Amino acid sequence: MAESFGQTAGWLDLMRAGDDTARTRLVEHSCERLRGLARKMLRRYPKVRRWEETDDVFVEAVTRLHRALDSVQPESPRHFYNLAATQIRRVLVDLSRRYYGPDGLGSHHDTVGAGTDANAVPRYERADPSGEPATLAAWKECYEQIMTLPDEQREIVDLLYISQLTQEEAAKMLGVTVRTVRRRWREARYRLQKVLG
């Protein structure tokens, strides 16, 4: 997504001029990122991932984002990224809610080699020493916690983590120094990781 940052501004201009193709490109752009994050979240759950990839979740996300862009005309790339990141986070929270737990859709799908508990880490996966969320519940918690961050930190997480901009691109968009971006990004990661444990 990072290399498309410059294109975003151009597409926004075209969209404001009434170009529907530009609108579609902007939505596709965000959906691609959503797909990456969803895969990351579900990669420990082969049985739901296999199922999810044929699900209509992305169609739903596309529809949702289209609707959001219909109702609000993004004034700037920054506005667009904020809007898109908010939508992506919401879809991911819904997705995790939909699959985890005894009543989650994933628990009714069987995959050879996986356990019976949809939230259990598959037996053959290596333990992960990083602080990355290990369960769908933890991912849901993570995305909800992002929403509670102070605005400046939340926006940095949205730009760097959700939208995958580089620090230089984020600094340019926000009109701050790269150093400031680094500091906010660090504070946000620290705060999030402390909460997530």
In angstroms, the CA 3 to CA 127 distance is 33
Binding residues for another protein restricted to 3-32, rule: CB under 8 A: 3
Is residue 189 within the footprint of another protein (CB under 8 A)?
Answer: yes
Residues with Cβ within 8 Å of residue 159, at least 6 apart in sequence: 81, 85, 165, 169, 170, 173, 174
Is residue 186 within the footprint of another protein (CB under 8 A)?
Answer: yes
How would DSSP label each residue in 78-92? HHHHHHHHHHHHHHH
Q: Which stretch binds another protein (CB under 8 A): 22-30, 85-93, 102-110, 177-185?
A: 177-185
Shortest gap between Cβ of 171 and another protein (angstroms)? 8
Question: How many residues at the interface with another protein, by CB under 8 A?
Answer: 40
| Residue type at 63 in one-letter notation | T
- 3-state DSSP assignment of residue 118: coil
164 in Cβ contact with 2 (< 8 Å):
yes
Shortest gap between Cβ of 22 and another protein (angstroms)? 21
Is residue 178 within the footprint of another protein (CB under 8 A)?
Answer: yes
Is residue 145 within the footprint of another protein (CB under 8 A)?
Answer: no
Is residue 130 within the footprint of another protein (CB under 8 A)?
Answer: yes
Residue 120: phi and psi, rounded to 5, are: -80, 140
Return the closest-CA partner of residue 35 out of 80, 77, 81, 91.
Answer: 91
Specify the residue, 101 or 109, whose C-beta has the smaller distance to another protein: 109
Is residue 121 within the footprint of another protein (CB under 8 A)?
Answer: no
Token pair for 73: 């005309």
Instruction: Please report, as ranges, the residues that interact with another protein according to CB under 8 A.
Output: 1-3, 33, 36-37, 39-40, 43, 46, 130-132, 152, 157, 160-161, 164, 166-169, 171-172, 174-180, 182-183, 185-186, 189-190, 192-194
